[in-house]
Structure 1
Amino acid sequence: PFLVVWRREKDKYILYAGDFKIIKDPRFRIEENMTALIIDNIHKDDASEYTCQVGTVPPKEITHTLTVTEM
């Protein structure tokens, strides 16, 4: 299996590296074989681009934009 890394782009913060959770915020979790990032009880501060990178050679990644419009 390849290493999957989730990153929040607005501050380049790595959220997960494989099964290892780096972010301390309990609202963040991963599912679906590490390919789905779940954020519970979303806040306006969560708005950002989020990138999922798979450690293949060369690495493959996809970036998703999260916009929070109203709470």
Structure 2
Amino acid sequence: MIVCPPKPSDLGIVTADGKDVWWKGQEDVITEIANAFTDHRFVLANMPTGSGKTIVAVAIGRLLGLSSVSMTHT
């Protein structure tokens, strides 16, 4: 089982607000999505605006050792 580390910096991630903590729910979502990739090739996450979808995607890529590109349109 893949488990999200306790802090973003454990994955080499620097957060935009400078705080080395996951936002509410991110740690669980990262763990759940990363583990879903063990059984599925494609995984969809429906998350609300401002929930940190980009950092979640980066964390999953780093946990799984994958290269990724994140593009956003605001």
* Alignment TM-score, normalising by the size of structure 1: 0.31
Looking at secondary structure, tell me which structure has more strand per residue.
1
Looking at secondary structure, tell me which structure has more helix per residue.
2
* Alignment TM-score, normalising by the size of structure 2: 0.30
